Amino acid sequence: MYYEVELQDYVRVPPSSFDLSTEESILKTLNNRFKNFILRDLGLVVAVSEIKSVGEGVIIPGDGAAYFDTAFKVITFKPEVQEVILGKISDITDFGAFMNIGAIDGMIHVSQTMDDYVSFSKAKVLSGKETKRTLKVGDECRARIIAVSYKELFNPKIGLTMRQPWLGSLSWIKDDLKKQEKAVVKEGKAKK
């Protein structure tokens, strides 16, 4: 889930940024500081979206930089268990698939890709034995987050599943909808 969060902090603006306006230099400093920033409670910071207010600047002797008490907003991505997300398959291995979900990649273990026996080909394609469904790099998919781990803070792990109704490759879902529509029409004709 994406959130907009308001934060407040003292921002150190180095003398090399004094040629910019105060707001521009603070925004540049904040974006550099929060690039790839991850906190368990906050999630992954995607961008600094807005400077809300800038207090009076203070210069500390011996440092030369200016410090500004600043309120600002950041856009964060905080994955939540049970959340349904859309993404694109970015890589396929013999143990599963990686799906780009915007700010980060999630992993779908081979056993969680479909309700079928799944085989891996050297062409980086996962294939279902009975359903004949395939999953390949570039496929757009819908998945559910089943695990989030911050064990390695700068490399959070997100576990995904596509083994539930209306999850999986969007082409599979379209096929299922067509089959369901045909069944409803057939049932309607049988009742007449």
Q: What is the pLDDT of residue 192?
A: 64
Q: What is the pLDDT of residue 8?
A: 94
Judge whether residue 40 has pLDDT over 90.
no
Question: In terms of Cα–Cα distance, which of 98, 102, 81, 85 is closest to 146?
Answer: 81
Q: Which residue has the tokens 């910019």?
A: 20
Judge whether residue 153 has pLDDT over 80.
no
Give Cβ neighbours of residue 148 (< 8 Å, ≥ 6 apart): 79, 80, 81, 156, 157, 158, 159
Residue 174 in tokens? 């379209």
User: Whole-number mean pLDDT of the chain?
Assistant: 91
Domain 2-77 falls under CATH 3.30.1490.120? yes
Domain boundaries of the chain, sorted by first residue? 2-77, 84-178
pLDDT, tens digit (0-9, with 9 covering 90-100), for 72-98: 999 999 999 999 999 999 999 999 999
Q: What is the pLDDT of residue 184?
A: 84
Is pTM beyond 0.95? Reply is no
pLDDT, tens digit (0-9, with 9 covering 90-100), for 53-76: 999 989 888 888 999 999 999 999
Judge whether residue 6 has pLDDT over 70.
yes
**Least confident segment among 91-100, 124-133, 145-154:** 145-154
Does 84-178 match 2-77 at the fold level? no
* CATH of span 84-178: 2.40.50.140
Judge whether residue 45 has pLDDT over 80.
yes
